[in-house]
Amino acid sequence: MSDNQGVAYVKPGVVEIQSIDDPKLELEYRGKTRKCNHGVILKIVSTNICGSDQHMVRGRTTAPAGIILGHEITGEVIEVGSDVEFIKKGDICSVPFNIACGRCRCCKERDTGVCLNVNPDRPGAAYGYVDMGGWIGGQARYVMVPYADWNLLAFPDRDAALAKIRDLTLLSDILPTGYHGAWTAGVTTGSTVYVAGAGPVGLACAYSCQILGASVVIVGDMIQERLDQAKSFGCETINLAKHGDLAEQIEQILGVPEVDCAVDCVGFEARGHGGDADTEKPATVLNSVMDITRAAGGIGIPGLYVTGDPGGVDENAKIGMLGIRIGLGWAKSHHFTTGQCPVMKYNRGLMMSILHDKAHPAKACNVEVISLEDAPKGYMDFDKGAAKKFVIDPHGMIPATSA
């Protein structure tokens, strides 16, 4: 090692590449050091820029300056802790963005997104993310992963993994997260679905709806380039900057103004529709999906909502208190699922679908591989609405012609 570098958040709108310490099998948090003999050191094969990272970079969270970003990680094991039994040096592994101990009640019930032991402040932890336990992020050359036997998904064949790494890199977060949004909303054979948002998670969700057998997937967004990407793999689309009445637009597609299931892949930086497209209205998506989801339908909410937003439009929004019309959802007997995706519920099955050519999410999400040095530009392009999923290749390990 000794050449470690990472993508650091400097101030709103600014990230830069900084030299950082080599990872060790330990964690320092609030002046205390925890040994992680159950962990491994990874050489990063790929690490992705996520919309959740972008919330921090925009200054819309309480993230401190200097935090090393990155929770979507795939890597090669180069050092193994003394307590690790099954993960081996040389394994190429997908790293769920949720850090989980495998021992607490939530982990044992497969709710790994809210592990009770890896964050002193709240349930749940993640790499390189605000209020998520102080774990160093993986937009770097090397990173430490704790509880390796529990957390890591080792790919069964190195060459096959590298050949499909553009797809497999999405297993750390956005593909399971999109699938989770669709699954928890109840998407199944023949479902009609509305997906709010055509960013990478929204595209992964729309693709997951197709995997699950949806008959029609409608994607709404305000950026035409992203809608064109959704249309490229068979989705119907609605440009919400042009059309304010969502139900009316859905009726033009389906013949009825409602869908069986809806998924919010936007989160707390939502804007109004139509004439209000330039105005931030953080409850817009939640209220609109209740309006257009049929009675007894389901709503998945993988879109991020926070408890602290310095840039919130009002004092309530700054603490995550939004004007949700919950009475409508109650009256229609909707079911809602919120929170982090528990990646380990889905990642192995999705891996098998990729390895056996049943799923090709990189094409749907329009993966573009960039160098670590180009990460700041990737953040800028992503913030402008690029219809791409930026995948960072710190060591030049991703084959130019991978599937």
111-130 mean pLDDT = 94
Per DSSP, the residues of 32-96 read EEEE-TT-EEEEEEEEE--HHHHHHHTT-S-PPTTPBP--EEEEEEEEE-TT--S--TT-EEEE-
At 401 the pLDDT is: 64
How does residue 244 score in pLDDT terms, banded at 50, 70 and 90?
Answer: confident
At 27 the pLDDT is: 84
Residue 403 in any domain: the answer is no
The sign one gets for the Cα dihedral 136, 137, 143, 146 is positive
Considering all CA atoms of the chain, what is the largest pairwise distance in Å, rounded to the nearest integer?
61
- 17, 70 in Cβ contact below 8 A? no
- Residue 250: give the domain boundaries: 174-338
Per-residue pLDDT at 402 exceeds 60: no
74 and 194 housed in the same domain: no
157 and 241 housed in the same domain: no
The sign one gets for the Cα dihedral 270, 272, 277, 280 is negative
255: left (phi over 0), alpha (psi -120 to 50) or beta: left
Domain of 185, CATH number, reads: 3.40.50.720
- 261, 183 in Cβ contact below 8 A? no
Beta-sheet strands, E only, within 302-398 = 335-338, 367-370, 389-392
58 and 155 housed in the same domain: yes
- Lowest mean per-residue pLDDT among 26-30, 81-85, 166-170, 234-238: 26-30
352 and 367 housed in the same domain: yes
184 and 85 housed in the same domain: no
257 and 132 housed in the same domain: no
At 272 the pLDDT is: 87
Residue 54 in any domain: the answer is yes
At 4 the pLDDT is: 96
Angle between helices 284-292 and 246-254 (to 10 degrees): 40
At 243 the pLDDT is: 82
Per DSSP, the residues of 176-227 read HHHHHHHHHHT--TT-EEEEE--SHHHHHHHHHHHHTT-SEEEEEES-HHHH
Q: Please state the pTM of the whole predicted model.
A: 0.95
At 296 the pLDDT is: 98
Residue 278 in any domain: the answer is yes
- The separation between CA 180 and the C-alpha centre of its own chain, rounded to angstroms, equals 11
Residue 8 three-state SS:
strand
Residue type, 167: D
245 and 295 housed in the same domain: yes
**Cβ atoms < 10 Å from Cβ of 280:** 15
Report the DSSP pairing between strands 40-48 and 142-145.
antiparallel
At 351 the pLDDT is: 98
Per-residue pLDDT at 319 exceeds 80: yes
Residue 89 in any domain: the answer is yes
Residue 102 in any domain: the answer is yes
* DSSP element (H, E) containing 106: helix 105-108
d(CA 365, CA 307) in angstroms, rounded, equals: 29
Q: What percent of the chain has pLDDT over 70?
A: 99
pLDDT digits (tens, 9 = 90+) for 321-353: 999 999 999 999 999 999 999 999 999 999 999
Residues 82-108, buried b or exposed e (16+ Cβ, 10 A)? Answer: eebeebeeebbbbbbbbbbbeebebbe
Q: What percent of the chain has pLDDT over 90?
A: 88
Domain count, the chain: 2
d(CA 77, CA 95) in angstroms, rounded, equals: 11
349 and 319 housed in the same domain: no
- Lowest mean per-residue pLDDT among 161-165, 260-264, 279-283, 335-339: 279-283
At 1 the pLDDT is: 66
Per-residue pLDDT at 246 exceeds 90: yes
The secondary structure of the chain in percent helix, strand, coil, rounded to multiples of 5, reads: 30, 25, 45
Residue type, 205: C
- The separation between CA 284 and the C-alpha centre of its own chain, rounded to angstroms, equals 21
Instruction: Name which residue leads in pLDDT, 244 or 121.
Output: 121
Q: What is the average pLDDT score of the chain?
A: 95
At 30 the pLDDT is: 72
Residue 232 in any domain: the answer is yes
Domain of 49, CATH number, reads: 3.90.180.10
At 23 the pLDDT is: 96
Which class for 30: exposed (0-12), middle (13-18), buried (19 or more C-beta within 10 A)? exposed
68-74 mean pLDDT = 97
At 28 the pLDDT is: 79
Residue 207 in any domain: the answer is yes
95 and 65 housed in the same domain: yes
- Select from 318, 338, 358 the last residue of a domain: 338
195 and 322 housed in the same domain: yes
The residues pairing with 47 across neighbouring beta strands, listed in sequence order, are 73, 392
166 and 308 housed in the same domain: no
Residue 397 in any domain: the answer is no
32 and 166 housed in the same domain: yes
Per-residue pLDDT at 130 exceeds 80: yes
User: Measuring CA to CA, which residue among 252, 165, 142, 259 is closest to residue 209?
Assistant: 259
